[in-house]
Structure 1
């Protein structure tokens, strides 16, 4: 789906200052409503407009800062670092999956402040045993993942 269309759905649902970050479904917007209420409003609007069952994770600026600042991994040009945004407790499920997975050299995972972080060699994201969880249909409404650099881009846009 085109991010311009997604932004229009958000605007039509009453959100203001709507802008997309990258082409991966990251939408920054303003609203005076609480996250739980926004989740219901926006999932319904997205589902109706795009004719699919939408699952959204609504995070405040403070929460985005926590994702960025909590990253336990040092920057390494040969590794990707990901943060998983999800339902309460999903970090424990993800860690269990990671512990049971066959790991590539330098692949690691940590939980910091109830946030799951994963680091994997570039080129191995979808090939790694753990990476296959990203496509599990049974988990699609439990979490989404983003490269840690996405949070930096979001914070720059918000500032």
Structure 2
């Protein structure tokens, strides 16, 4: 069995309200050791399914059980570890928030990258950094998240089905949940 992190898009915001205990119960059919973290839709589990099959099964399960147009991003434990390790930003900082936008389609993440500005200068003032084909990190001043270019872009319909964003602290909690 392989270990996976499953990130649900848009739950417990915008009218889609899910109880994580019910999500955990629904995901029991998809793998073993199902554990949910926080109310934002973060799940770790072990499964015999490959990542693509698990993604399809998770979206189908959420649609059937909870009746909403569900989208998820599935990462292996190794992929999550690599993404967290590659992030150059601090998890906690007094003046900024550090986020990671995860994608299930590298081409969509490429389009998001292109739509949100020039490449990072690499001089420590970077606002964003590509971490992998499946992830990009970005930071913004506290209180300005919703006004940031990446936050605005990921809200557009063309990115909703393939991306979801978590703060770095959440990814560290998900990573730790693997034990």
Structure 2 residue 159 is the aligned partner of structure 1 residue 117: no
What residue in structure 1 maps to residue 155 of structure 2?
135
Structure whose residues are more often strand by fraction:
2
Gaps of 5+ in 1: 101-105
Report how far residue 15 of structure 1 moved.
1.8
- Asked whether the 8 Å contact 1:94–1:116 carries over to 2, the reply is no
Residue by residue, what CA displacement relative to the aligned partner does 1:100-133 show, whole Å, maximum 9, x if unpaired?
Answer: 7xxxxx6711113333111101111012343212
The CA distance in 1 between the partners of 2:126 and 2:21, in whole Å, is: 35
Report 1 or 2 for greater relative contact order, CA contacts < 8 Å, sequence distance ≥ 6.
2
Residue by residue, what CA displacement relative to the aligned partner does 1:116-159 show, whole Å, maximum 9, x if unpaired?
Answer: 11110111101234321232223111211110111111111112
The CA distance in 1 between the partners of 2:132 and 2:155, in whole Å, is: 25
The CA distance in 1 between the partners of 2:21 and 2:90, in whole Å, is: 34
What residue in structure 2 maps to residue 54 of structure 1?
70
Q: CA RMSD in A?
A: 1.8
Report how far residue 66 of structure 1 moved.
1.2
Alignment partner of 2:74: what SS?
A: coil
The CA distance in 2 between the partners of 1:151 and 1:61, in whole Å, is: 11
How many residue pairs match? The answer is 153
Alignment partner of 1:59: what SS?
A: strand
Q: Which stretch of structure 1 is more off in the superposition, 75-84 or 149-158?
A: 75-84
Which of 99, 107, 113 aligns to 1:82? It is 99
Structure whose residues are more often helix by fraction:
1
The CA distance in 2 between the partners of 1:85 and 1:93, in whole Å, is: 13
The CA distance in 2 between the partners of 1:74 and 1:40, in whole Å, is: 33
Q: TM-score, normalised by structure 2?
A: 0.78
- Asked whether the 8 Å contact 2:73–2:162 carries over to 1, the reply is no
Residue by residue, what CA displacement relative to the aligned partner does 1:17-56 show, whole Å, maximum 9, x if unpaired?
Answer: 1111111100111111111111111111110111112111
